[in-house]
């Protein structure tokens, strides 16, 4: 479904990703793990066009993403739940969801998808008129995921959905990830919560200072001594 080969990217003179190659197949949940500053967020930004790829190839179902302007990537079937959620704090929950359905194809299905998202997250329905910025962290994460689903994506990019949440809520967030997985969405998830994310993912990539250091089945990576020591504190 999504394929990257030899992608470079950076900010100004600084290079953050070096010759990165990876793929995500339809129906999979793929995790990207790595330390702070490894380039995980940059990778997702490159995929959704917020940061331009400087070399290499990047396709979504055969469509060349490098030739697609950032605001057209949504129409390729990719929705990005950004790091720290980035809701519109002074818009209501429902207006945030409306923004997720901004593209014309999604507008036509707004009512149907709104009902779907509210069924998935009944809490959002109760809070529909509340300003998004006044909700709890866990509720905001639901809203951010709901907003992404409003565009009717095939692939959902999740950037550290558990960040800044209490342990109980973190468990709930991983349940959410499992839920959207079972709803048939393909998921590419970035996490520092390595032990937990490897339980929900099929495969994973380990990113170190902008390069892929290891990749494989999530279970295998979770069993590797190196990863257990460096990323799971075991």
Partner 1 sequence: MDCHLDIFFLEALLNGLLLAGLLALLALGLNLVFGVIDVVWICYAELVMVGMYGVHYAYKGGLPFIVAAALGIVLVAVAAGLLHVLVIRPVLETAPINQLLVTGGVLFFLQAAATMAFGVEFKNIGISLGSLNVLDMSFSRARILSFVVALVGMLALWLFLTRTYMGTAIRAIAQDRQIMPLMGVDSRRIYLVTSAIGGGLAGLAAGLMVLNYDIYPQIGLQFGPLIFMICVLGGLGSMIGGFVAAFVISQFIAVGSSCFHTEWGYAVAFLFFMIAIFFRPQGLFGAKS
Q: Is there a contact between 191 and 162 (Cβ–Cβ < 8 Å)?
A: yes
Strand runs labelled E in the chain: 2-11, 14-24, 29-33, 55-60, 63-64, 78-81, 155-159, 186-191, 203-208, 211-217
Does 153 bind partner 1 (CB under 8 A)? Our answer is no
Region 96-135 residues binding partner 1, contact defined as CB under 8 A: 98-103, 106-107
Cα separation, 179 vs 197, whole angstroms: 14
- For residue 71, the partner it binds in Mg ion, ligand ATP, partner 1, none, with Cβ less than 5 to 8 A by kind, is partner 1
Do the strands 55-60 and 2-11 form a parallel or antiparallel pair, or are they unpaired?
A: antiparallel
Of the candidate residues 22, 24, 33, 41, the single one contacting ligand ATP (CB under 6 A): 41
Strand order in the sheet with 14-24: 14-24, 2-11, 55-60, 63-64
Residue 50 within binding range of partner 1, rule CB under 8 A: yes
Instruction: Answer for the pair 69, 49: CB distance below 8 angstroms, yes or no.
Output: yes
Residue 217: which of partner 1, ligand ATP, Mg ion, none does it interact with, CB under 5 to 8 A by kind? none
Site for ligand ATP in 190-219 (CB under 6 A): 192
- Residue 73 in the binding site for partner 1 (CB under 8 A): yes
Q: Write out the residues near ligand ATP by the rule CB under 6 A.
A: 11, 14, 16, 34, 36-42, 83, 192
Q: Write out the residues near partner 1 by the rule CB under 8 A.
A: 48-50, 69-75, 79-80, 82, 86, 88-91, 95, 98-103, 106-107, 147, 151
Q: Write out the residues near Mg ion by the rule CB under 5 A.
A: 41, 83
């Amino acid at each position: 479904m999504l394929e990257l080969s030899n992608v470079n990217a950076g900010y100004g003179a600084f290079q953050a990703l070096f010759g990165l190659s990876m793929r995500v197949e339809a129906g999979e949940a793929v995790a990207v793990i790595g330390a702070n500053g490894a380039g995980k967020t940059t990778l997702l930004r490159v995929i959704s066009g917020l940061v331009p790829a400087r070399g290499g190839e990047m396709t979504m179902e055969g469509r060349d993403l490098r030739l697609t302007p950032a605001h057209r990537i949504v129409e390729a079937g990719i929705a990005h739940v950004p790091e720290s959620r980035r809701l519109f704090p002074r818009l209501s929950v429902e207006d945030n969801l409306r923004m997720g359905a901004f593209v014309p194809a999604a507008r036509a299905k707004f009512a149907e998808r709104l009902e779907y998202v509210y069924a998935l997250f009944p809490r959002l329905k109760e809070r529909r008129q509340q300003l998004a910025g006044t909700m709890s962290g866990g509720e905001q994460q639901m809203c951010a995921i709901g907003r992404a689903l409003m565009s009717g994506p095939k692939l959902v990019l999740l950037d550290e959905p558990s960040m800044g949440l209490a342990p109980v809520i973190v468990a709930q967030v991983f349940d959410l990830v499992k839920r959207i997985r079972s709803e048939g969405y393909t998921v590419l998830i970035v996490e520092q919560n390595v032990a937990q994310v490897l339980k929900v993912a099929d495969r994973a990539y380990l990113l170190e200072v902008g390069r892929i250091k290891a990749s494989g089945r999530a279970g295998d990576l979770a069993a590797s001594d190196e990863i257990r020591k460096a990323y799971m504190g075991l």
